[in-house]
Structure 1
């Protein structure tokens, strides 16, 4: 089986991604900082603990694992597989949960999960916070009231809540509908940092940074790329 082009049953591509995480666990650990790696382990643990009979919960937990892998360098083997993953058969299912449990056994016997450094921002977080953004009040004005929960809201320890500017139309525009649609797929209301990393990081499937491609690519291409990450074609 290749890294993402085929599936050998329900959730085959997701299971293959779990296998790749196990095979490349050392380089993944080297590529992620302590907080990022702790988040990945937490997402894998959540998937392993999911009720295998609850398809929606399994799909949601699988999405969390994919989002936690986004900080990997674009040329990393697992990151390339993440960009090209396809679920051409059924969505993640019971075998995905079994695979996550087996992977957790492998990872926890080799190392101890680091404690996330919540008191300091990671390099990736600083990059995301450094992108052009609106203050909470500016976002409220653009939205004509309270910003919808689908908008990415990042909390800066110094400047408070920040709303990445790419989410809004040019010239003082309101939230872009395609951004809201993609953010719903990425569960931005639950994991705004993961959603921001998808928009502001490189995407080999799209050939660029999704946020920079707004208005340059058809909306359906952006939605399709997010859908591939979340649940496949």
Structure 2
């Protein structure tokens, strides 16, 4: 991902970055349990948001024995206080790639990289505004940080169009939901939530329900994801 990762993925990335010291600071039994929990997270159906969150929480508990000043433990505390959690099935795919590296496989499964690329391509093909168009709406001022901004390798920053009222500013409920989903940290995960089917909302993409379903239902579905309700 080109964008800053969500809190859960940041923890997983730090485990990868500091794997040697994580191994040194955990007992053999603790380390084996960590690997077991990572495998469980990697095998979790990405569409089951509750199961993803539960599996990540299990991984997090395995890392609690690390010293308080260890980078991974510091990130754990930051995730706990911020209420951040993996969003959607991209977290599972990231875990699969991490586990491939941990188990001494230098290359992630080709299908995993292909799936991530396909998800990103699907999200980038959704109608979007360019950075210039968004700045024009804000008369040159910086748009709200809560807006989802996706980095297109060919077209630059793109803002999915569903976030905006026709010809106007963003929907207030979109900004509220994006804050819940930590869209500034994980724009890809937040975009995937809005643009994929959602079982809590009858199976359709939440983006299609703006102005159709009550705002509180959209916010509630996002909160349920993050809190594992």
When the two structures are superposed, what TM-score results if normalisation uses the length of structure 2?
0.59
Displacement after TM superposition at 1:187 (Å): 1.0
1:228 equivalenced with 2:221 (yes/no): no
**Residues 143 and 175, structure 1, Cα contact 8 Å, conserved in 2:** no
Q: CA offsets per residue over residues 71-104 of structure 1, 9 Å max, x none? A: 87xxxxxxxxxxxxxxxxxxxxxxxxxxx9xxx9
1:191 corresponds, among 186, 194, 201, to 186
* Partner residue of 1:152 out of 148, 151, 158: 148
Once the two structures are TM-superposed, the CA of residue 114 in structure 1 deviates from its matched residue by 2.4
RMSD: 4.2
1:69 deviates by: 2.4
8 Å CA contact 2:79–2:85 kept in 1: the answer is no
Q: Deviations over 1:128-161 (max 9, x none)?
A: 0000000111111223422111101111111111
Is the contact between residue 50 and residue 58 of structure 1 (CA under 8 Å) also seen in structure 2?
A: no
Instruction: Name the one with the larger helix percent.
Output: 2
- Aligned residues between the structures: 168
**Deviation at residue 166 of structure 1 after TM alignment:** 0.4
1:114 equivalenced with 2:114 (yes/no): no
Determine if contact 2:83/2:226 at 8 Å carries over to the other structure.
no
Q: 1:52 to 1:167 in 2, by over 3 A?
A: closer
1:149 and 1:215, CA in 2 relative to 1: closer, same or farther beyond 3 A? Answer: same
Aligned partner of 2:127 among 109, 121, 132: 132
